[in-house]
Chain A
Amino acid sequence: MISLISPVRTRAHGWPAGAKLAALCVVSTALFLTGNPWVHAGALAAVLVGYALPGREFLRAGLRGLRLLLPFVVIVLLWHLVTRDLATGVVICLRMATVVALANLVTMTTRLDQMIEVLRSLTAPLRRIGLPVHLLDTAIPLMIRFTPVLVTRAQALALAWRARAIRRPGWRLILPLTLQALDDADHVAEALRARGGPLCPEQNSHLT
Chain B
Amino acid sequence: MERNIAHIALFAALIAALGLVPPIALGFGVPISAQPLGVMLAGAVLGARRGAAAVGLFVLLVALGLPLLVGGRGGLGVFATPTAGFVLGFPVAAFVTGLFVEHVRIRPAGLAAGLGSVLGGIVVLYAMGIVGIAINADKASAESAVLVLVFVPGDLLKAAITGMLVQAIARTRPQTLAWHHAPAGQGDIRL
Q: Could you list which residues of chain A lie within 8 angstroms of chain B, going by C-beta atoms?
A: 1-5, 21, 24, 28, 65, 68-69, 72, 75-76, 79, 88, 92, 96, 99-101, 103-104, 106-108, 110, 112, 115-116, 119, 135-136, 138-140, 142-147, 149-151, 153-155, 158, 168-171, 173-175, 177-179, 181-182, 184-186, 188-190, 192-193, 197-198
B65 touches A182 (CB 8 A): no
Chain B contact residues, majority secondary structure: helix
A138 CA to B161 CA, complexed, in Å:
31
State which of B98-106, B120-128, B131-139, B182-190 sits at the interface with chain A: B131-139
Question: Is B6 touching A143 in the complex (CB atoms < 8 A)?
Answer: no
Question: Among B14, B41, B78, which residue has the most Cβ atoms of chain A within 10 A?
Answer: B14
Give me the interface of B with A, judged by CB distance under 8 Å: 1-3, 5-14, 16-18, 20-21, 23-24, 26-27, 34, 37, 41, 45, 57-58, 60-61, 64-68, 71-82, 136-139, 143, 147, 161, 165, 168-169, 172-173, 176
Question: Once the chains bind, are B64 and A115 in contact (CB under 8 Å)?
Answer: yes
B137 contact set on A, CB distance < 8 A: 72, 75-76, 92, 96
Give every chain B residue within 8 A of A151 (Cβ-Cβ): 17, 20-21
The answer to whether A103 and B79 have CB atoms under 8 Å apart is yes
CA distance A144 to B25 in the complex (A): 22
Q: Which residue of B lies closest to A110 (CB)?
A: B65
Contacts A/B (CB < 8 Å), 29 sampled: A3-B66, A28-B80, A68-B73, A68-B81, A79-B143, A96-B80, A103-B76, A103-B78, A104-B77, A106-B76, A107-B77, A112-B64, A112-B66, A115-B65, A116-B64, A143-B9, A143-B58, A147-B20, A151-B20, A153-B17, A154-B21, A170-B27, A174-B34, A178-B45, A179-B169, A184-B6, A189-B2, A189-B5, A197-B1
By Cβ-Cβ distance, the 3 closest A-B pairs, closest first, are A107-B75, A142-B9, A150-B17
Secondary structure of the A contact surface, majority rule: helix
Partner of A173, one of B12, B16, B24: B24
Q: Are A178 and B14 in contact (CB under 8 A)?
A: yes
| Interface contact A100-B81, CB-CB below 8 Å | yes
Residues of A with C-beta under 8 A to B61: 140, 143-144
- Contact B10–A119 (Cβ < 8 Å): no
**In the complex, what residues of A have CB within 8 A of residue B12's CB?**
139, 143
Among B9, B26, B41, B176, point to the contact of A170 (Cβ < 8 A). Answer: B26
Q: B77: which A residues are within 8 A, CB to CB?
A: 65, 100-101, 103-104, 107
Separation of A79 and B26 alpha carbons in the complex (Å): 32
A104–B65 alpha-carbon span in the complex (Å): 9
- CB-CB under 8 A from B139, the residues of chain A are 76, 79
Give which listed residue, A2, A107, A171, A185, contacts B6 with CB less than 8 A: A185
Which residues in A have their C-beta under 8 angstroms from that of B173? 179, 182
CA distance A116 to B79 in the complex (A): 18
Among A101, A173, A174, A190, the one with the most B-chain Cβ atoms within 10 Å of its Cβ is A174
Nearest residue (CB) in B for A1 is B66
Q: Which one of A65, A136, A143, A145 contacts B75 once the chains associate, using CB atoms below 8 Å?
A: A65
